[in-house]
Chain A
């Protein structure tokens, strides 16, 4: 009963703020999944390339590092949207 009473006391603005926060958190989670898959694929292929051709490892590592950073930018964009809307 107490919980129901507390729910009934929630105003429209509070509800809207709670919805915005949970939606932003959900969006941030979704935004982090894509880059996670991308980085996994990128590093997996790079490791395969380095194991097959160790003499090209320097070139592969450089491009892999830049690729990781570019992919991570997607997650950072999601994070920035989260801090601007959800916090």
Chain B
């Protein structure tokens, strides 16, 4: 039986699929954000619009930052990638916390709209992307067209 390579010295070179996935999510986020903003505008008025835009930007930046961290560290070592993902999780939660705390008392913020948009955008975009990824992994020859 061949020995398992050491994850501390193994590194992955070549194309980073996370960047592709996060760019796809970014594109889809641009498609759905007008709908989410419109829904928030109906329920929370102009405050809802600004809050929804802020939340969409937070979610998309969060995806992009996570992907960048994985892509960057995977080129160095798998062990470093694992550490970066774990500490990156904490750092990203902290940054989101900070981003919300900084604007919580602003006149234009609507916290229910912000919270609603964060959850719906994050989960909605992920499910949408997963559908595409699952189809392309299951049927590589029938890779679905990108939207």
Contact = CB atoms under 8 A, between A and B. Distances in A.
Nearest to A70: B126
Contact of A76 (B67, B86, B119): B119
A39 B89 contact: yes
A20 interface: no
B97 interface: yes
Nearest to B129: A66
B137 to A, nearest CB: 6
Interface in B19-72: 21-22, 63, 66-67, 70
A65 B17 contact: yes
A27 interface: no
Contacts, number: 113
B126 A73 contact: yes
B126 A75 contact: no
Interface residues on B, range: 35 or more
B70 A65 contact: yes
B5 interface: yes
B89 A51 contact: no
Interface residues of A, number: 36
Contact of B85 (A32, A63, A68): A68
Contact of B66 (A36, A40, A68): A68
B76 interface: no
Interface in A32-87: 32, 35-36, 39-40, 43-44, 47-48, 50-52, 54, 57-59, 61-66, 68-70, 72-73, 75-77, 79-81, 83-84, 87
8 contacts: A50-B78, A51-B4, A65-B22, A66-B126, A73-B119, A75-B89, A79-B97, A83-B111
